[in-house]
Structure 1
Amino acid sequence: MTNATSNYQVIIVGAGFAGVAAARRLGKAKIPTLLIDRNNYSQFQPLLYQVASSQLPPSDVAEPLRAIFRKRPSVRVLTAEVTAIDAAAHTVTVDDGTVYSAPTLVIAAGAVVNFFGTPGAAEHAYPLYSVSDSTRLGAAIIEQFDKADARVAAGEALDPTNIVVVGAGPTGVEMAGAIAETINSVVPRTYSDAVREAFTVHLADLAKTVLGPFTEELQQYAQEHLEELGVQLHLGTSVKEVRADGVTLSDGEVLAAPIVIWAGGLHAQPVVGQAGITPGRGGRLNVNDDLTVPGFPGVYALGDAANIPDGAGKTLPGLGAVAKQAGAWAGENILADLKGTQRTAFEYHDRGFMAMIGRMAAVAEVGRSHKQLHGSLAFAGWLAVHDVLLPSARPRYNALVNWVRDYFTEDRTEFIVGDATRT
Structure 2
Amino acid sequence: MSQKILIVGAGFAGVCGALGAARVLDGAGVTASDVEITLISPKPELQIRPRMYEAEPQNMAAPLLPLLDAIRVKYVEGSVERISVADKRVSVVSADGQQHSLAYDRLLLTSGSKLSRPPVPGLEGAFSVDHIEDAVELDAHLDRLATQPATPARNTVAVVGCGFTGIEVATELPKRLREKFGADARIRVVVIGSQDEIGPDLGANPRPYIAEAFESLGVETVLGSRVVAVDAQGVRTMSGQHIEAGTVIWAGGMHASPLAAQLSPNLDSLGRVEVAANLRVPEAPHVFVAGDVARALTDDAGRYALMSCQHAVVMGQFGGYDVAADPLGIPTLTYRQPFYATCVDLGEWGAIYSEGWDRQIKLTHDEGKARKRMINTKWIYRPAPNRADALAAGNPLASFG
Instruction: Give the TM-score category using the shorter length.
Output: 0.7 to 0.9
Does residue 42 of structure 1 match 2:46? Answer: yes
Q: CA deviation at 1:19?
A: 0.7
Tell me the TM-score normalized by structure 1.
0.81
Partners of 1:83 and 1:106 lie apart in 2 by 15
Aligned to 1:398: none
Partners of 2:205 and 2:281 lie apart in 1 by 39
Q: CA deviation at 1:323?
A: 0.7
Partners of 1:390 and 1:58 lie apart in 2 by 17
Does residue 168 of structure 1 match 2:157? Answer: no
Partners of 1:393 and 1:289 lie apart in 2 by 27
TM-aligned CA distance change 1:217 to 1:159, over 3 Å:
same
Partners of 2:316 and 2:377 lie apart in 1 by 20
Aligned to 2:391: none
SS at match of 1:336: helix
Aligned to 1:400: none
Kept after mapping to 2: 8 A contact 1:87/1:105: no
Aligned to 2:120: 118
Does residue 99 of structure 1 match 2:101? Answer: yes
Q: CA deviation at 1:329?
A: 0.8
Q: CA deviation at 1:312?
A: 2.8
Aligned to 1:379: 369
Aligned to 1:364: 353
Kept after mapping to 1: 8 A contact 2:297/2:336: no
- Which amino acid is the alignment partner of residue 41 of structure 1? E
TM-aligned CA distance change 1:100 to 1:208, over 3 Å:
same
Aligned to 1:391: 381
Partners of 1:218 and 1:279 lie apart in 2 by 30
Q: CA deviation at 1:272?
A: 2.7
Q: CA deviation at 1:377?
A: 1.7
Q: CA deviation at 1:393?
A: 7.2
TM-aligned CA distance change 1:269 to 1:57, over 3 Å:
closer
Partners of 1:177 and 1:386 lie apart in 2 by 16
Partners of 2:126 and 2:189 lie apart in 1 by 15
Q: CA deviation at 1:368?
A: 6.9
Partners of 1:211 and 1:278 lie apart in 2 by 28
TM-aligned CA distance change 1:250 to 1:83, over 3 Å:
same
SS at match of 2:270: helix
- Which amino acid is the alignment partner of residue 343 of structure 1? T
Kept after mapping to 1: 8 A contact 2:125/2:232: yes
Bigger mean CA deviation after superposition, 140-149 or 284-293: 140-149
Partners of 2:244 and 2:301 lie apart in 1 by 45
Aligned to 2:135: 134
TM-aligned CA distance change 1:314 to 1:118, over 3 Å:
farther
SS at match of 1:328: helix
Does residue 178 of structure 1 match 2:180? Answer: no
Q: CA deviation at 1:392?
A: 4.8
Partners of 2:323 and 2:92 lie apart in 1 by 23
Tell me the TM-score normalized by structure 2.
0.85
Aligned to 2:388: none
Partners of 1:227 and 1:113 lie apart in 2 by 28
- Which amino acid is the alignment partner of residue 207 of structure 1? Q
- Which amino acid is the alignment partner of residue 21 of structure 1? C
1:321 to 307, 310, 315: 310
Q: For each residue in 1:230-266, what CA deviation from the matched residue of structure 2 results, as whole angstroms up to 9, or x when unmatched?
A: 2111122211111233110122111122221111111
1:333 to 310, 313, 322: 322
Bigger mean CA deviation after superposition, 342-351 or 359-368: 359-368
SS at match of 2:315: helix
Partners of 2:183 and 2:147 lie apart in 1 by 11
Kept after mapping to 2: 8 A contact 1:86/1:276: no
- Which amino acid is the alignment partner of residue 309 of structure 2? G
Partners of 2:318 and 2:246 lie apart in 1 by 44
Could you list the runs of 5+ residues in structure 2 that have no partner in the other structure? Answer: 26-31, 385-401
- Larger helix share, 1 or 2: 1
Partners of 1:160 and 1:368 lie apart in 2 by 40
Q: How many positions carry a matched residue from both structures?
A: 368
- Which amino acid is the alignment partner of residue 8 of structure 2? V
Q: For each residue in 1:143-200, what CA deviation from the matched residue of structure 2 results, as whole angstroms up to 9, or x when unmatched?
A: 1122136xxxxxxxx344321111111111110011122234x246xx373xx11x31
Aligned to 1:81: 79
TM-aligned CA distance change 1:361 to 1:146, over 3 Å:
same
Q: CA deviation at 1:300?
A: 0.7
- Which amino acid is the alignment partner of residue 46 of structure 2? S
- Which amino acid is the alignment partner of residue 180 of structure 1? P
Does residue 298 of structure 1 match 2:283? Answer: no
